[in-house]
Amino acid sequence: MGFSGGGSNVLLPHSHDGRVVQDGGPLDFNSITQSQSLAGQVFYSDGVALQQLAYPGVPAGEILTAAAASTAPSWVASASATPVYEEIASTTLGVDTNDITLTFAAVNASDVAQFVFVFNGGVATAGEELQVQVNGSSAAQYYMQRLDMAAGAGAFSQWSGETHWKPYRTQALGARVFGHMNLQVDQTSQVPNILMSSTFIGAAGMAQYSGNVDITATSLSEIKIYAGNSADPLITAGSTASIFKINI
């Protein structure tokens, strides 16, 4: 029904429908129609009348949300995006030392897809094996196999019942070595253990490496990299090591 009431001055119900004669025509919401509202307010119906939802006083990326079991929209804080690669621990050596040991709050394997350890450093003694231990274990339960490639030739080695993994053998005094190691705490076997694969590159060429350690583990809390002769400070100042978790 339009505004006209047959001469009456009573405003009759209307819908601002431009298709109805004398119904006021469509409302222009673009900078024409006014209301007693503050900037940014959102209008919604409560089923009876229009209501207003105030705009956040200090906007911080809030999201307009229909919360579970609610009857009206609301502003909620946006969820922080979880990075795929999340650093757990990292260090840079200030002086030559025997090892780099990264210790951190235990991360349960069921919460991550994988762990990645990255090493970029110098080794002060030639001919030494870089060695790695996890979770503080020096038990003779490390198993591994390694393919060394240099000058177009390859050599295969394997070890069992060692007290550490041997991902790379250095060649030149003070040579730089870069490598990364993928670690997985395996909870599918009868006795959970830690699996590893790695690639290390340096003056001695490249080494592809894989292995496991038969210690009962459901989480990772420490990784240590060092060189064979612990009597000398073998890892040089400026060397870095970091451990990341890949979130599910």
The answer on pLDDT for 165 being more than 70 is yes
The answer on pLDDT for 71 being more than 60 is yes
- The pLDDT value given to residue 204: 76
- Which residues are within 8 A (CB) of 31 and not within 5 positions of it... i.e. 6 or more apart? none
Amino acid at 117: F
Do 160 and 53 share a structural domain?
no
Do 140 and 105 share a structural domain?
yes
The answer on pLDDT for 79 being more than 80 is no
Q: Which of 76, 96, 120 is the last residue of a domain?
A: 76
Average pLDDT over every residue of 45-53: 90
- The pair of structure tokens assigned to 241 is 């090591």
Nearest to 241 by CA among 74, 31, 49, 100: 100
Q: What is the pLDDT confidence band of residue 3, given thresholds at 50, 70 and 90?
A: low
Do 102 and 220 share a structural domain?
yes
Residue 186 lies in a domain: yes
Average pLDDT over every residue of 170-191: 78
Do 194 and 94 share a structural domain?
yes
44, 38 Cβ separation under 8 angstroms: no
Question: With pLDDT > 70 as the criterion, what percentage of the chain qualifies?
Answer: 89
Do 158 and 125 share a structural domain?
yes
Q: Which residue has the tokens 């940014």?
A: 40
Residue 22 lies in a domain: no
Do 89 and 196 share a structural domain?
yes
Q: What confidence tens digit (pLDDT) does each residue in 12-37 have?
A: 777 777 787 777 777 777 877 777 78
Residue with the bigger pLDDT between 2 and 231: it is: 231
What is the number of other CB atoms lying within 10 angstroms of the CB of residue 129?
A: 18
Residue 144 lies in a domain: yes
Q: Is 111 helix (H, G, I), strand (E, B) or coil?
A: helix
Residue with the bigger pLDDT between 117 and 84: it is: 117
163, 236 Cβ separation under 8 angstroms: no
Do 105 and 48 share a structural domain?
no
Domain with residue 181: its CATH number is 2.60.120
**For the whole prediction, is pTM greater than 0.85?**
no
Dihedral over Cα of 11, 15, 20, 22: its sign: positive
- List the domain range (segments joined by +) for residue 67: 42-76
Residue 60 lies in a domain: yes
Q: What is the pLDDT confidence band of residue 239, given thresholds at 50, 70 and 90?
A: very high
| Polymer length of the chain | 248
Q: What is the DSSP string of 217-243?
A: -SEEEEEEEEES-TTS--BPTT-EEEE
